[in-house]
Amino acid sequence: MRLSRYFLPVLKETPSEAQIVSHRLMLRAGMIKQASAGIYSWLPLGYKVLQKIERIVHEEQARAGHLAMLMPTIQSADLWRESGRYDAYGAEMLRITDRHDRDMLFTPTAEELITDIFRAHVTSYRDLPLTMYQIQWKFRDEIRPRFGVMRGREFYMKDGYNFDLTKEDALHAYNRHLVSYLRTYERMGLQAIPMRADSGPIGGDDTHEFLVLADTGESKVFYDSEITDLRFGDRDIDYDSHEQCRAVLDEFTSRYARTDETHDPELFGKIPEERQRMARGIEVGQIFYFGTKYSEAMGAYVNDHDGNRVPVHMGSHGIGVSRLVGAIIEACHDDNGIIWPEGVTPFHVGIVNLKQGDASCDTACEDLYEALAAAGLEPLYDDREERAGAKFATMDLIGLPWRITVGPRGLANGKVELTSRRNGESEEMSLEAAVARVSEIYGV
């Protein structure tokens, strides 16, 4: 992409309405624009990051064997009356009446609709286990939408649902999700710690929230500092293996880590004092096992091996896809702007032309642009007639992890400069070497 042809409405001033750094930076970097309270348009740069996150979620769901699908945002109230949640959900549910006076709603989550699909088509244990998920817009009429996309009213969420014959199988689905979520967040450059939590309106006994530690987080958390040393890394896990998934769960949830809803001061007190941590966290996902709550209420039964009709065991699992954009920025920024992890960066590398209009600089930039694109990378070429300082400031603000600077002095020696946004370190090298290095970084 050439910046001269892109839509990047960066703001010079710090927007006064934004209280936290991710919200400020998303507005300043021209990623989003508020449409109304808690509802945002995603401008091209923001949308690209959202799509990168979405793609990682899809890839990791596929790896775990889960099936992608899509359900409507507008749903009939009748289904929600069956489960009893139409009344229970309260003011957070956006209720709509259509022209025939039928009660509709904008989906805040989709346990009812997926259960309705299930009960219409699945009648035998032979069709189990089954896990389907979607990535779809949700609406919750939050009383205090704030912090930009972190607590919106409309937000983008991955929601998945498992159907299993037995509790044991459903708990395996739970563990499998925990494993796949660990991998998902790490690919985005985040450490999200699973913490025992409270189930809220979804219901059920077993639930973990995934929290990214950040001072601006809305949740208060208590944990054993040793937990932050754990990394999932590049493990090759067989997602069908109960033992392997269980072992990962044990490893990542055996040390104390809880939100304030489930905090147990006595148990916490048993951790050596120097390891006791109290902090704040951003909830970026949650997994639930809720047994037969919905299947019994809504009649989702299957025939088991002996021909008995039994309610299926279910769970649901959510990832805050749009919230993650803010959470990643909270975790990855400095005074000059965003620092995207490679996994989610909107463009892989920026090209800064220090002397636009100079024939050799222009040619070198065009060559670089083409070579990077041919390698399968997406460069953002700042080809505007702008001062070098302004170009650097824009690149720093929008946070591409790598920058190639092209100027007449370096080019006289056949060199360009490759700079890391993370630590500011620069290295001079030939054009070809720069392309090779960036390709290597991204594994293309």
> Which residues bind to Mg ion, rule: CB under 5 A?
286
- In the bound state with Mg ion, the residue whose beta carbon lies nearer, of 222 and 381, is 222
Among ligand ATP, Mg ion, none, residue 315 binds (CB under 5-8 Å by kind): none
State the Cα–Cα distance between residues 199 and 196, nearest whole angstrom: 10
- Are β-strands 313-320 and 154-164 bridged in parallel, bridged antiparallel, or unpaired? antiparallel
**52 CB-near residues (< 8 Å, 6+ apart):** 343, 344, 345, 346
Element (H, E) at 36: strand 32-36
Angle between helices 359-374 and 431-442 (to 10 degrees): 30
Among ligand ATP, Mg ion, none, residue 142 binds (CB under 5-8 Å by kind): ligand ATP
Q: Does 283 bind ligand ATP (CB under 6 A)?
A: yes
CB of 315 to ligand ATP, least distance (A): 12
Q: Does 284 bind ligand ATP (CB under 6 A)?
A: yes
Q: Does 157 bind ligand ATP (CB under 6 A)?
A: yes
Q: Does 315 bind ligand ATP (CB under 6 A)?
A: no
208-227 as b/e: b if 16+ CB within 10 A = bbbbbbbebbebebbbbeeb
Stretch that binds ligand ATP, among 18-26, 93-101, 246-254, 317-325 (CB under 6 A): 317-325
Q: Does 320 bind ligand ATP (CB under 6 A)?
A: yes
State the Cα–Cα distance between residues 405 and 365, nearest whole angstrom: 9
Cis peptide preceding 129, ω within 30 of 0: yes
Q: Does 140 bind ligand ATP (CB under 6 A)?
A: yes
CB of 276 to ligand ATP, least distance (A): 24
Stretch that binds ligand ATP, among 277-285, 384-392, 402-410, 415-423 (CB under 6 A): 277-285
Q: Does 151 bind ligand ATP (CB under 6 A)?
A: yes
Q: Does 35 bind ligand ATP (CB under 6 A)?
A: no
Q: Are 290 and 204 in contact, with CB atoms under 8 Å apart?
A: yes
- In the bound state with Mg ion, the residue whose beta carbon lies nearer, of 115 and 286, is 286
**331 CB-near residues (< 8 Å, 6+ apart):** 189, 190, 212, 213, 214
Among Mg ion, ligand ATP, none, residue 141 binds (CB under 5-8 Å by kind): none
CB of 4 to ligand ATP, least distance (A): 34
CB of 151 to Mg ion, least distance (A): 12
Stretch that binds ligand ATP, among 8-16, 77-85, 278-286, 424-432 (CB under 6 A): 278-286
- In the bound state with ligand ATP, the residue whose beta carbon lies nearer, of 66 and 140, is 140
State the Cα–Cα distance between residues 38 and 177, nearest whole angstrom: 29
Q: Does 66 bind ligand ATP (CB under 6 A)?
A: no
Among Mg ion, ligand ATP, none, residue 348 binds (CB under 5-8 Å by kind): none
State the Cα–Cα distance between residues 352 and 410, nearest whole angstrom: 13
Q: Does 155 bind ligand ATP (CB under 6 A)?
A: yes
Residue nearest ligand ATP (C-beta atom): 320
CB of 326 to Mg ion, least distance (A): 16
Structure tokens belonging to residue 209: 């929230």
Helix (H), strand (E), coil (C) string for 117-137: HHHHHCCEHHHCCEEEEEEEE
State the Cα–Cα distance between residues 50 and 346, nearest whole angstrom: 9
Q: Are 86 and 77 in contact, with CB atoms under 8 Å apart?
A: yes
Q: Which residues bind ligand ATP (CB under 6 A)?
A: 109, 140, 142, 151-152, 155, 157, 200, 283-286, 318, 320, 322-323
